[in-house]
Chain A
């Protein structure tokens, strides 16, 4: 883990999965429009 992301830092475009199990690059979320991206704690 590096330092916390700051304003102006480049966000990592790491791959995750969508709800269907398909691989998706996070960078695809902001390629065409800005995104509010929330990382949630566990379900519950």
Chain B
């Protein structure tokens, strides 16, 4: 399920870079796994490895609950990614319950946008990330995710 988000980032990395914004992705894979995965799908995105999920915890990124599995949005997202040709992959020893999140962080280290995925398949709309980026010139951007 993270394929869709990573692919969208990969398709838009140049757009962000042209506006002076770096694009990076944290994965739960070991470094060589992250290297292989990102080289295959998103060679221009800086891929990082965090197998112990300590960064996920520091950013307070939650996990899927049983209740989340009943969320219609989760099933709609599942159907959406399946129709786009994505295939569910094996976690390969990674935490299948770990959710994702996306942030935009300014040079002062402050969060400018935060989107916590509500269920598997959820991620922020690219237009929202771009809207925040386009306002970054002032460095006084505040937008909720």
* Chain A residues packing against B (C-beta within 8 Å): 1-14, 16-21, 24, 26-27, 29-44
Given known contacts A43-B94, A44-B2, is B104 in contact with A35 (CB within 8 Å)? Answer: yes
Contact, CB under 8 Å: B109 / A20: no
Q: Give me 19 other A-B pairs in contact (C-beta within 8 A), A19-B38, A36-B24, A44-B87 excluded.
A: A5-B59, A5-B60, A9-B110, A10-B110, A12-B55, A14-B55, A14-B58, A16-B48, A17-B49, A19-B49, A30-B105, A30-B106, A33-B22, A34-B104, A36-B9, A36-B21, A41-B1, A41-B2, A44-B91
Using a CB-CB cutoff of 8 Å, which residues 1-60 of chain B contact chain A? Answer: 1-3, 5-6, 9, 16, 20-29, 31-35, 37-38, 46-50, 54-60
Q: Which residue of B lies closest to A30 (CB)?
A: B105
29 A-B pairs within 8 Å (CB atoms) are namely A1-B60, A1-B62, A3-B60, A5-B59, A5-B114, A7-B112, A7-B142, A9-B110, A10-B110, A16-B49, A16-B55, A17-B50, A18-B47, A24-B48, A26-B48, A34-B105, A34-B112, A36-B9, A36-B21, A36-B22, A36-B104, A36-B133, A37-B102, A38-B24, A39-B56, A41-B2, A41-B28, A42-B28, A42-B94
Contact check: which of B57, B91, B103 meets A42 at CB < 8 Å?
B91
Closest to B17 in A: A33
Q: Closest chain A residue to B86 by CB distance?
A: A44
Asked if B107 is an interface residue, CB under 8 A from chain A, the answer is yes
Chain B, interface size category, equals: 35 or more
